[in-house]
């Protein structure tokens, strides 16, 4: 039964995560934390971090991680297949349709209309992650309950990525080292 739940949950994620991995993060969180309680909020943050750092799409890495945690190797295979199955079907169909009708203005309008929804999904995922990194879920958003080290690391990473145009992998490694040092010092 758990394998069917994993397959159906990640089938939904694969089917409705239009816009790629970052757009899938709220969907993965909803299925794994809120609906099925396979992960805690802290474990989900770890999942998002690991899935971002490892090669491959976030949704597939997340499916493999959750499936492995919930049902071992069969769970990992089942969840991963559930996540990629809609893409296999849809990309095959869309490729055929796009090649045939790519010059139609209506198709161009539909594609243009999807862009704001994708941006909203990515922004929602980013805001949720920022709130989980910077604020304790029990106390809500309050300055006394803020995780200042996490918020400062987040702000520094955004600044370095946007202004200095550093390599994202280098920024992740530096944030990891800073988090380790702050943790050893008892500040994080």
pLDDT at 130: 82
Task: Confirm whether 11 is domain-assigned.
Answer: yes
pLDDT at 181: 93
Task: Confirm whether 138 is domain-assigned.
Answer: no
Q: How many domains does the chain have?
A: 1
pLDDT tens digits, 19-72? 666 778 889 999 999 999 999 988 998 888 888 888 888 889 999 999 999 999
Task: Confirm whether 29 is domain-assigned.
Answer: yes
The domain in which residue 78 lies consists of 2-104
Task: Confirm whether 154 is domain-assigned.
Answer: no
CA distance 48 to 29: 9
pLDDT tens digits, 121-147? 888 888 888 887 777 655 566 666 678
Task: Confirm whether 67 is domain-assigned.
Answer: yes
Task: Confirm whether 92 is domain-assigned.
Answer: yes
Q: What six digits make up the tokens of 82?
A: 């559930």
Q: What is residue 53's three-state secondary structure? A: helix
Task: Confirm whether 96 is domain-assigned.
Answer: yes
Residue the block writes with tokens 């690391």: 153
Task: Confirm whether 113 is domain-assigned.
Answer: no
Q: Residue 110: pLDDT above 70?
A: yes
Is 0.85 surpassed by the pTM of this model?
Answer: no
CB count, 10 Å around CB of 143? 7
Rounded average pLDDT over 4-10: 96
Task: Calculate the average pLDDT of the chain.
Answer: 88
Distance set, CA 2 to CA 16, 41, 75, 91 (Å): 21, 21, 8, 28
């Amino acid at each position: 039964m758990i394998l069917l739940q994993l397959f159906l949950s990640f089938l939904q994620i694969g089917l409705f995560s239009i816009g790629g991995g970052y757009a899938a993060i709220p969907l993965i969180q909803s299925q794994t934390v809120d609906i099925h309680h396979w992960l805690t909020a802290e474990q989900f943050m770890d999942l998002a971090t690991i899935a971002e750092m490892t090669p491959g799409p976030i949704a597939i890495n997340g499916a493999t991680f959750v499936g492995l945690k919930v049902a071992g190797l069969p769970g990992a295979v089942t969840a991963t297949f559930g996540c990629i199955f809609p893409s296999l079907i849809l990309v095959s169909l869309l490729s055929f349709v796009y090649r045939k009708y790519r010059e139609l203005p209506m198709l161009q309008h539909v594609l243009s209309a999807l862009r704001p929804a994708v941006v909203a999904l990515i922004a929602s995922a980013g805001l949720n992650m920022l709130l989980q990194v910077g604020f304790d879920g029990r106390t809500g958003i309050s300055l006394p309950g803020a995780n200042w080290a996490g918020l400062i690391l987040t702000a520094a990473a955004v600044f370095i990525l946007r202004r200095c145009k550093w390599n994202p992998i280098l920024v992740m490694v530096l944030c990891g080292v800073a988090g380790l040092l702050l943790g050893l010092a008892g500040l994080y």
